[in-house]
A and B are shown apart, each in its own frame.
Chain A
């Protein structure tokens, strides 16, 4: 089955860190760029970061630049999102999404919930 599965979410205090993982299966993982997108309740989807197929080209949204770091390990069919200096406004469901050849997101995971609260 072609799928992406996120993990690593949880409850963390403001200022804390979390590392999210995204594992792909059923397709040639190292052929695709992977993105992280989050859904904030009442605010919609927010694109966060993109990493290309070999990890050599990375971009971030301004809202997370300097705090979040995306990386990948193609040997493990995995992409990671290291999140530091977390804030209450980072509370969201975090999705990883496969970027298609035409630039959209043609496969998504089911999401992992991150809650930043004291």
Chain B
């Protein structure tokens, strides 16, 4: 049950696009499409922004998109805005009703 690997930080200017990677193994990310992404801002709990690798819950901006290839999932934020500055985490189903989550990425809007 090793944590999913994410870059510690990613930065971009307003209007740019950034991508955050989430690398697991063939026992979690590579074996299931149940990869989800969460945004966390100070003082608040995480909120889900992507589920099942590439589906957006209702109410989440279409600037957020997800994808998966092999053992790596990715979150792309398009048209970066100041309000997107936050921590982002991925989580994946890992079989036998267990999960594994990521090391977290801080997004800076320059």
Contacts and interface: CB of A to CB of B under 8 A. Distances in A.
Interface of A: 4, 35, 37, 39, 43-47, 50, 57, 59, 61-63, 95, 97, 100, 102-106, 108-111
B10 to A, nearest CB: 14
Given A102-B52, A108-B45, A108-B47, A45 B91 contact: yes
A31 to B, nearest CB: 17
Interface of A is mostly: strand
Interface string B22-60: 000000000000101010100111111001100001000
| B-side interface size class | 20 to 34
Contacts, number: 73
B46 A104 contact: no
A110 B91 contact: no
B1 interface: yes
Contacts of B3: 43-44, 46
